[in-house]
Amino acid sequence: MSTERNGSAYADVTDADLLARHGHGDPDAFGEVVRRHRDRLWAVALRTLGDREEAADALQDALVSAYRAAGRFEGRAAVTTWLHRIVVNACLDRARRRAARPAVPLPEDLDQRLPAPAQEDPAVRGETREALLAALATLPAEQRAALVLVDMEGYPVDEAARILDVASGTIKSRCARGRAKLLPLVRHLRESGPPGPAGSPGNPSAGQSVPSTDDRPRAGGPTPDTGGTSMEGGGTR
């Protein structure tokens, strides 16, 4: 059964019911859950790790774990919260393992978070971009994960806390510490250049936030294999 036909057949089936069907042997149910959520899960993985190859590997690891655990899903959280928790944990595990490396890769499209270019000296713009990159590189993985969920993905603090399995106060603290490092540079960039596009202030309920961006896969773009083919038949890679 193709992915398109799966989507039509499961149009009125909830995520939780799909996981239940998966547990009862439906070979296509988990693939439909992945199809519904993989773009946002990919965005979270990429923003948290900042490296496409590592993000794709972390996402694949997370989906394999979710596939194996789906039959034991108890419904104590929304399916999307459960999936995000597994993905973020996989990303944090990778981030911790590479912590001893001399540099942390950063998002490839980070320059999209800067103000729109003006008639300025390219060298000056390059310096400010490098300064922001350097500031982001200093954030611990846990702070970056909190900022990704709250400021870039727009999750309420309480939902981000459920995803990361920590207290809401911990999320607020991590975001505050991360913003304290990033916002002086972001504020300088906003004040020294023309306003960025309207409608991209991050999460308006989270206080002053770091800039948001949209790095979900575009149509025809390089989307990692996250379940549409390798998992729909009931196997794992």
Q: What is the C-alpha end-to-end distance of the chain, expressed in Å?
A: 19
Of all helices (H) and strands (E), which one includes residue 200? none
CA distance 19 to 17: 5
CA distance 105 to 63: 23
For the chain, give every domain's residue range: 1-109+225-237, 110-214
The amino acid that residue 180 corresponds to is A
CATH architecture assignment, domain 1-109+225-237: Orthogonal Bundle (1.10)
Q: In whole angstroms, how large is the CA radius of gyration of the chain?
A: 19
Task: Indicate if 110-214 has the same CATH topology as 1-109+225-237.
Answer: no
> Alpha carbon 57 to chain centroid distance?
14
Q: What is the pLDDT along the chain (237 residues), one digit of tens a residue?
A: 454 555 568 888 999 999 999 999 999 999 999 999 999 999 999 888 888 899 999 999 999 999 999 988 988 899 999 999 999 999 999 988 876 555 444 445 545 554 454 445 566 566 665 565 556 667 888 998 998 899 878 999 999 999 999 999 999 999 999 988 887 767 766 666 544 444 444 454 455 566 544 444 433 333 444 444 333 333 333
Pick the CATH number of 110-214 from 3.30.2270.10, 2.40.110.10, 1.10.10.10, 3.30.70.20: 1.10.10.10
What pTM was estimated for this model as a whole?
A: 0.64
Tokens 């002053």 belong to which residue? 208
Nearest to 181 by CA among 148, 130, 139, 128: 139
Tokens 């540099």 belong to which residue? 103
Q: How far is CA 206 from CA 74, 202, 218, 237, in A?
A: 30, 8, 28, 38
The amino acid that residue 172 corresponds to is K
Q: Give a three-class secondary structure readout of 136-184.
A: HHCCCHHHHHHHHHHHHCCCCHHHHHHHHCCCHHHHHHHHHHHHHHHHH
Half-sphere exposure in the Cβ direction for 227 (13 Å, CA): 25
